[in-house]
Every structure is written in structure tokens, then in C-alpha cells.
Chains A and B, each alone.
Chain A
């Protein structure tokens, strides 16, 4: 019987993702649908199993029902295991009292017991906020090769955007000598991806120290990493190349969906060597009716298309009725676009209904005041009455 796991992953999935507005009103951000049939959390979970990491703790807090239900036994990701597998870890009552997860570091601290069960050498910390494919085993090799205490995955961002990120300043050997959170004058463009590998012994020590520090905000980026740097621990920046996108805002979520339609995009969801797994409902194939046109779009199972769909992503079970026009939009699972409606530059959330001849969103070129343009969002389950006009940048259902 196996009793030890070299590396386990802890996935921080408790965030509210408040900038996604109505989309995260009732669900946690990692459960937000993406790419026709996936949810954001499918990416870190699939990366784990594809990297050979079969023990994953998922830390939930905000609106966990849908996420917990979605993860279930972990079977879609092959994470239903006799030893290890995926475990949903919500905050719980303890003898000394009841406590919410006060920060990313505190969430891990409260689950020391879970981690100890596997006696790991290394702990991989992940977040459920990004769309990317990454082989964590390569990062682990990098960590071991450098005899590091902590490795932080970094991606090079355009210098002018660097001040929006946590920036790692490194020497020629990738060793981190300084970490700056959203610096005004960044010295490097190596942005932290929020993916860390720690030696378990070192992490346990710093988590405990941090917990005892009453002034700490109990956050990895703000507290743990600076404390380890201050102690001159061996910290290395693991350079990642490839597609990586934070989908924390409506615009970035929309863009990340549009990126799939770009043939030059490097995410490659159809790579047989790195499949992205998802829990799916048993839906029939999609049907494209006689009068429909579908161009440069992604269409999922269970869809019915009788209108015009261009440059858009249709999620499982979406319906586009006769004469409806969908352009540059994201139509989430089970949404219905009624006859003659026009949806442009919009996100229509799960099971929302856009009534007949309603008009949602506008093309940027049709907007005189550029300041007023933005992606329009229809919240989950909303019914937009027939003929209604929904302005660009609107956020309905909050």
C-alpha cells in the first residue's frame, strides 16, 4: 500500500471573483464556464493529472455548492483514487473555534492535517483563476535541480503592463533576489503566475510563523514570499512560455474565449497529448439547420443553430433560433437566443434567454463614444424581454 506522495497540489478555489459580476453571483470563479464545454478549474485539474500529480486538495469557501458538485468524485479528471485523488476542502469547525479562510496562506495552514497525511516532499500551490496548459512536473524538476526552497512560475509580460503584476527580480541563474507587488517602476517583466512549488518542510515552517504573526494578512504574495526572501531562502523563478490568461474580468473572460477562435493561438485545446478534461452532461450532437450559417466559431454538444453565428463560442445546449444573429459573443450552456434577436460583443450566461428581436451589445465601430463601449453581460437565468435593447458594457443580473 502506498503511504507517501512525492508532490501534492493545493488548489485555491475560494475566491469570489467579484469583477465577474453576475457571472459569479451564485458560483465560485473556478466554476465559471469557459471554451464551449469547460470550466476554469478544468485547466489546473487537467494539468495536474497530465503532470502525474494525482493528489489535489481544492480549497473552497465562496459559493461552493456548484463547484463541489462539479468536482464530485474527481472521475472526469481521473482523480478518483484509492490513495490521493481530489478532495474538496472547505473551512471547518475546530476545537479552538470556527474560522473562515482568512487568506491564501491561512487556507493552506488550516489544512496542514490534510497535507501531512500524504507526507509529501513538495507542495504545489495553484489557483483556479487562469487558463493555461502547464507541465508541473517540469517545474518540479527545475525546483529539485536548483535545490530550491521555493520556486515561483513566472511569465514575461509586456513591460508597460508589468506594473499590474507581482514582479520577480532575478539574477542570471533565475534566483529571485527581490519581489515587488505591482511596482510603479518595474525592474523586470517576469510576472508571478501564482503557481508555487515549496519544499514541504520550509512551507510548513513559514505557514506556522505567519499564523503566529498577528499583523500578517496571511497571503502568499504579500507575506510568505517576502518572509522567505528576507531569510535568504533559495527561491527561483521558473520561466513559463505559452498561453496564460487571467480571466478575472468580463473583458478578459471574453477575450480568452475569442482567443480559441484565433488559429495562431497557442492554447491548442485539441492536443491529444494534453487533453483538458471536463464533467459533461449526456447531450446529443449539435444540429445546424438549413438556413443557418456558422463561421469561425466553436459549437458544442446539444446546441441547435438556426440563425447566423460568426466569430462566437456556443456552449453545450445553447440554442440560436431562426434569424437570430450572434457575432463576437460567448453564449454559455443552455442559453437561448430567440428569433430575430441580435447579440454582439456580449456574454450571455447559463440558461439566460434573450427574447425575440432583442438587441444585446454593439460593435465597437458602431459606438460613437468609445468610453461607453464594452462587452455586455446577461447574468445566469435572466429573461430579456422581446425587443429590449441592452447597451454595451451593461451588466445585468447583479
Chain B
């Protein structure tokens, strides 16, 4: 089986700084998403669903919550004797302290890469919400005899844009953020290449003191290697701001999006919590909402994403909100456009409103 000849590398910290409140005490990979997931679940699930059972997760800082979530990798079937999950910590080599960028991080873990026997490496960030068929991407890579294949999605927001010729070959890698250019090819930072090629690129970049993989490696090497774009036609979004986080959650309320993201052929796995099913009270009114196990809902919920173990009291109104794990909304509260982190307690009768383009974020464990 070809898939066994590939290993995965997941970067858990990309864009941490852009989700300020939510990543205050966690990596972007461990940001809660979609009622019961963490963002990294999408990358890990896509990898194992392609039959790849050797994955290194690169961490940088704030990774306690990530370690807690991933554990030994069992929920993703990554607790293996051969391969399985490896946490690649930021102190891989003593010389320079914590990593600066991807190049630095991979250089610090060169021994992990060099000791591997897999022919290919699939590298991905942990901030993409998608259910990508990596097997198809691999097929395409092999068929085109590509050196590097980079997944992209048209017309979404992101930070790296690709220029492609009519054969799908990448002719340019850009980082300008010209918002007027719609329908551009946005890199999802999911790329496939030979392991020896990656090691060579990393060693070379490190010698030149480069830090940014996108700019310093991909952009510079565009003409030197056969780089193909691989278009993702199904739903895919890059989370790189509070707004895009909010938007990506809300998009799950669209059945079409859910059907693509939660494709039963390629399930999205996550750590289990053993909650009982959600309970609805006599006066509950719910519509257009995605709700996890363990919730007790007695009030009104509309257009919202409700995580595991949230309790919403009688007479409370929750509209266009994201309420994370174990939150409590007491009686007669009224909430709109709120992103409440884990264990937030909104006391009786409070009214809190954000705005569609500016959802109000309430930090972990706060009481209002």
C-alpha cells in the first residue's frame, strides 16, 4: 500500500498570534471548534483517513492544552507500535532555544526526519477546516511526477497566494494581501514532497539563515522544482483571525458544508468525553443550531454552535453565538454574537451583544 510510504508533519502553532484571546493559553491547533473538535482534529483525521499512521506534531509554545487533547493519539488510532504519534518539542536541539519558524523547527528535528524510512512527507498546518482526501492528492502527485504538490482553495482568505499555469504548475508564490483580488488561489499550506527533498531544502535554508518556509523556500524555489497546485473543490477555510474563526464555525450550520466536512467516509476524530446525550427541557426552543452531547438546554437557541456540557437556563436567549465546553448561561440572559471560551459563566439576566463583524470574545473561565 502506497500510503504506508508517507509520514505526516503537523504544525500546531501557525498564526497563533492572530487569534489573541483564544490562543492566550493554547496553540491554534487546540482551539475548540465546531461543538466538539479542536482545529488540529481536521489535519490529524485527514492524515489517518489516508492510511498514514506516522505523524509528528510540531509544537512551539503554549502546548499544554494540545498535549492534553492529543495524549498518545488513540482517538485518531495513532497509538501505534510502529510509527504513530510523535510530539516534536521546541527544544529539539539546545543551541538556539525555541523555534523561530518552520525551517528552524524542522531543522531542530532533522534526526526525526532522517531516521524515518518513508519516501514522502505530508506537511500541514493545524488551522484549516476541511475534510481533504489526501489519497487523491498523493495520486496526483505521483501521476504528475511532481517534486512538490501544494493544496489550494480558490477565493477564500489566507496569507499565501499561488499563481498557476494552465497545467496546474505553480509559477508564483505571493504573500501580498491585496483584498481587491477575488477568487485567488489561496494556499492551504498542505504540501507533499519527498522526504530527502525536504531535508535538502531545510538544510539549505538553515545555512542561509532563512526562517519562513512559504517565502524563503517555496517562493525562491518556484522555478527550480516541479511544483504543482492541487485544487480543493470541497469546503475549506483557513482560520487566521477571530472573524474567520467565527465565520468558519457558523458555516457549519449550512447542511452542504456539514456534509462535506463530516463526510461519513472520512470521519473527523476527536478526544472523547463520555457525556450523556443532550437534554432539552419542556420550554426549549431550538433552531438552526449545532449542539454537542452533555448539554442541558431549557432556553432558546438560534443559529449557534453549542459545545459539550453547556447549560442554558430557562428564558435565556442565545443567538449567533459560539459557547464552548462546560459554559453556563443562567436564566433570562440574552446573548448575541458572543464567543464564550470554556467554562464561562453568564449570570442571570445579563445581556451581551457583539456584532456580526466583531464577535465579542469572553476569555476562558470568566464570570459575567
**A residues at B contact (CB < 8 Å):** 35-37, 75-76, 261, 269-270, 275-278, 280-301, 313-315
Judging by beta carbons under 8 Å apart, are A296 and B280 in contact? yes
CB distance from A50 to the nearest CB of B (A): 12
- Report if B274 contacts A (CB, 8 A): yes
> Do residues A286 and B291 form an inter-chain contact, with CB atoms below 8 A?
yes
> What total of A-B pairs shows CB separation below 8 Å?
100
Identify 28 residue pairs between A and B in the complex whose beta-carbon atoms are under 8 Å apart, listed by A's number: A36-B277, A37-B276, A37-B277, A278-B274, A280-B272, A284-B258, A285-B34, A285-B290, A285-B291, A285-B293, A286-B292, A287-B258, A287-B290, A288-B289, A290-B287, A293-B285, A293-B286, A295-B280, A295-B281, A296-B284, A297-B279, A298-B277, A298-B278, A300-B278, A300-B293, A301-B36, A301-B292, A315-B277
Minimal beta-carbon separation of A311 from chain B (angstroms)? 9
Question: Which of B84-92, B262-270, B348-356 faces chain A?
Answer: B262-270
A11 to B224, CA, bound (A): 66
Does B80 reach chain A (CB closer than 8 Å)? no
The residue from B258, B277, B291, B294 contacting A288, defined by CB atoms under 8 A apart: B291
**Chain B, Cβ-Cβ closest to A279:** B272
Alpha-carbon gap, A278 to B270, bound state (A): 15
Contacts of A284 in B (CB 8 A): 34-36, 258, 261-262, 268, 290
- From B255, B280, B290, contact of A294 by CB (8 A): B280
> From residue B13, how far is it (CB to closest CB) to chain A in Å?
25
User: Separation in Å of the B257 CB from the closest CB of chain A?
Assistant: 11
A288-B286, A299-B280 known; A270+B275 contact, CB < 8 A: yes
* Nearest-CB residue, chain B, relative to A298: B277
Residues of B within 8 A of A289 (CB): 287-288
Contact A288 B287 (CB under 8 A): yes
CA distance A313 to B279 in the complex (A): 9
- B74 on the A face (CB < 8 A): yes
- Interchain CB contact under 8 A, A270 and B276: yes
Q: Of A278, A282, A287, A298, which is within 8 A of B267 by CB? A: A282
> How many Å lie between the Cα of A314 and that of B286 in the bound state?
16
Q: Which A residues lie within 8 Å of B275 (CB)?
A: 270
Residue of A nearest to B285 (CB): A293
Known A299-B291, A301-B292; contact A292-B276, beta-carbon cutoff 8 A: no
Beyond A284-B34, A287-B255, A294-B280: 15 further Cβ-contacts under 8 Å?
A37-B277, A280-B272, A283-B267, A284-B261, A285-B34, A285-B35, A288-B291, A295-B282, A295-B283, A298-B277, A300-B293, A301-B277, A301-B292, A301-B293, A313-B277
Cβ of A290 to closest chain B Cβ, rounded Å:
5
What are the residues of chain B within 8 A of A280 when measuring CB–CB?
Answer: 272
- CB-CB under 8 A from B277, the residues of chain A are 35-37, 298-301, 313-315
Q: How far is the CA of A361 from the CA of B155 in the complex (A)?
A: 51
Tell me the smallest distance from the CB of A18 to a CB of chain B, in Å: 28
Contact in complex: A299, B285 (CB < 8 Å): no
Chain B residues whose C-beta falls within 8 Å of the C-beta of A269 in the assembled complex: 276
* Tally of contact residues, B, Cβ under 8 A: 36
Bound-state CA distance A286–B262 (Å) is: 11
Mostly helix, strand, loop or mixed at chain A's interface?
loop
**A296, B296: Cα distance in complex, Å:** 10
Verify A285–B292 contact, CB threshold 8 A.
Answer: yes
- In contact, A282 and B269 (Cβ under 8 angstroms): yes
B291, A277: Cβ atoms closer than 8 Å: no
| In the complex, chain A residues whose CB is within 8 Å of the CB of B268 | 282, 284
Best-buried of A270, A283, A287, A295 by chain B (most CB within 10 Å): A287
* A301 neighbours in B (Cβ, 8 Å): 36, 277, 292-293
Q: List residues of chain B with CB within 8 A of the CB of A270.
A: 275-276, 294, 296
What CA separation (Å) do A299 and B290 show in the bound complex?
11
Interface centre among B291, B293, B296 (most CB of A within 10 A): B293
Q: Which residues of A contact B272 (CB under 8 A)?
A: 76, 280
Q: How close is B314's CB to chain A, nearest CB, in angstroms?
A: 13
A296 with B282: CB separation less than 8 A: yes
Task: Name the CB-closest residue of B to A267.
Answer: B276
Give the residues in chain B near A285, CB-CB below 8 Å. Answer: 34-36, 290-293
Q: Please tell me if the beta carbons of B274 and A276 are within 8 angstroms of each other in the complex.
A: yes
Bound form: Cα–Cα A189–B275 in Å: 35
Q: In the assembled complex, how far is the CB of residue A239 from the closest CB belonging to chain B, in whole angstroms?
A: 27
Our pick among B74, B261, B290 for the contact of A286 (Cβ within 8 Å) is B290
Which residues in A have their C-beta under 8 angstroms from that of B291? 285-288, 299
C-alpha spacing A131/B280, complex, angstroms = 22
In the complex the two chains form, what is the Cα distance from A261 to B296 in whole Å? Answer: 12
Q: State the CA gap A288–B291 with chains docked (Å).
A: 8
| Contact in complex: A276, B276 (CB < 8 Å) | yes
When A and B form their complex, which 10 residue pairs have the shortest distance between CB atoms, in order from nearest?
A36-B277, A285-B35, A282-B267, A269-B276, A300-B277, A284-B262, A288-B286, A285-B292, A290-B287, A298-B277
Q: Judging by beta carbons under 8 Å apart, are B293 and A37 in contact?
A: yes
Closest approach, in angstroms, between the C-beta of A326 and any C-beta of chain B? 12
Q: Which residues of B contact A35 (CB under 8 A)?
A: 276-277
> B267's closest neighbor in chain A, by CB?
A282
Pick from A76, A277, A294, A298: contact of B286, CB below 8 A. A294
